[in-house]
């Protein structure tokens, strides 16, 4: 966006009523995510108003929300899950492709979490810091605009309950001031990072046909406390790749203890590398342990 002011908003999608984000000052501290969304969306609308006002005969503060501009495609993080740990910030790119007969002036996007798009039901928001999108006008009528977000577990992901499905807000502005926005253009998943540590397969070496014991620990990030805690009662695969191969096969599936501990046995017939693998779920990323090579005599 090229300017930021505070105006009432109206959505093309019809999901937000006029003034739905007029968050009173007294409530701002109680709904910080909603206040961030309010400021951002109002700025997008103001940008469209300003562009419309720059056109001959168009009054400031009046924007056509059902004009010729369309949002054709939105891609978030390369269509991959966004995974966040406890400290490292994650850079996420959103690409908005839009079309208007007069060409594209700007686009905007953000991520929000909640049950509906109003100040009473938004509990998470990730807003770009850039003042305008980086648009590639690849034709006279269409452009793909890049919006960059920074996901900070210490501030944006203030509670582990925010893990899972988020909503993608997208907007586009034509050179003629036409405006289109969709508060839930698509969904994206932001997940808690998981890790498998302390992998060990023993004894090393082992006689052919004898049993090895594999142990490790599965944990995942807590955004509430910014620490990793054991992830209990989860199905984890014990996998093996024979010496000289990089292809792993699943030998068996076991469950973690209540504290995330893993312990299981398997028969060793050939030399190779053992590891544990945890598939992702709706709130948590996949994780793979380090491999542990065991020679078979």
* 252 bridge partner residues: 238
Token reading at 109: 């996007």
Could you state, in order of their start, the residue ranges of all structural domains in the chain? Answer: 25-191, 194-294
Task: Quote the CA–CA distance of 185 and 202 in Å, as a whole number.
Answer: 51
In this predicted model, what pLDDT tens digit does every residue of 265-275 receive, in sequence order?
Answer: 999 999 999 99
In the β-sheet with 90-99, what is the strand arrangement from edge to edge? Answer: 70-76, 90-99, 142-151, 134-136
Q: What is the DSSP letter of 83?
A: E
How confident is the model over 160-196, as pLDDT tens digits? 999 999 999 999 999 998 999 999 999 999 999 999 9
Q: Exposed, middle or buried, 275 (CB in 10 Å: 0-12/13-18/19+)?
A: buried
Classify each residue of 152-182 as buried b or exposed e, where b means 16 or more C-beta atoms within 10 Å of its C-beta.
ebeebbbeeebbeebbbbbbbbbbbbbbbbb
The tokens describing 40, both together, are 């951002």
CATH number (1.10.240.10, 3.40.50.300, 3.30.230.10, 2.60.40.730) of 194-294 reads 2.60.40.730
Q: What is the dihedral of CA 239, 245, 246, 251, to 10 degrees?
A: -10
Q: What is the pLDDT along the chain (297 residues), one digit of tens a residue?
A: 443 222 223 333 333 333 344 443 433 444 678 888 888 888 888 877 777 766 544 433 333 455 899 999 999 999 999 999 999 999 999 999 999 999 999 999 999 999 999 888 999 999 998 888 999 999 999 999 999 999 999 999 999 999 999 999 999 999 998 999 999 999 999 999 999 999 999 999 999 999 999 999 999 999 999 999 999 999 999 999 999 999 999 999 999 999 999 999 999 999 999 999 999 999 999 999 999 999 999
The domain 25-191 having CATH identifier 2.60.40.10: the answer here is: yes
* CA–CA separation, 193 and 42 (whole Å): 33
Q: Where are the beta strands (DSSP E) in 152-209?
A: 164-174, 179-192, 194-202
Same fold, 25-191 and 194-294: yes
pTM for the model: 0.83
């Amino acid at each position: 966006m090229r300017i930021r002011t505070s105006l009432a908003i109206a959505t093309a999608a019809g999901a937000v009523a006029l003034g739905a984000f007029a968050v009173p000052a007294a409530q701002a501290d109680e709904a910080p995510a909603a206040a961030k969304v309010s400021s951002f969306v109002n700025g997008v609308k103001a940008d469209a108003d300003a562009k419309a006002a720059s056109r001959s005969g168009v009054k400031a503060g009046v924007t056509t929300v059902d004009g010729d501009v369309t949002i054709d495609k939105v891609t978030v993080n390369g269509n991959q899950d966004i995974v966040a740990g406890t400290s490292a910030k994650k850079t996420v790119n959103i690409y908005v492709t839009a079309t208007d007969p007069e060409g594209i002036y700007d686009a905007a996007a953000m991520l929000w979490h909640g049950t509906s798009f109003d100040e009473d039901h938004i509990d998470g928001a990730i807003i770009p810091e850039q003042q305008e999108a980086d648009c590639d006008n690849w034709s006279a009528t269409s452009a793909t605009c890049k919006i960059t977000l920074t996901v900070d577990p210490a501030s944006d992901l203030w509670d582990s309950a925010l893990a899972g499905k988020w909503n993608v807000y997208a907007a586009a502005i034509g050179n003629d001031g036409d405006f289109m926005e969709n508060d839930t253009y698509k969904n994206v998943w932001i997940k808690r990072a998981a890790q498998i540590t302390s992998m060990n397969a023993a004894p090393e070496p082992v006689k052919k046909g004898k049993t090895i014991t594999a142990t490790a620990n599965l944990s995942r990030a807590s955004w509430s406390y910014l620490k990793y805690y054991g992830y209990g009662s989860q199905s984890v695969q014990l996998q093996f790749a024979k010496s000289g191969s990089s292809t792993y096969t699943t030998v068996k599936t076991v469950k973690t203890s209540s504290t995330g501990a893993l312990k299981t046995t398997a028969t060793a017939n050939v030399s190779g590398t053992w590891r544990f693998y945890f598939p992702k779920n709706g709130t948590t990323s996949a994780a793979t342990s380090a491999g542990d090579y065991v020679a078979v005599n």
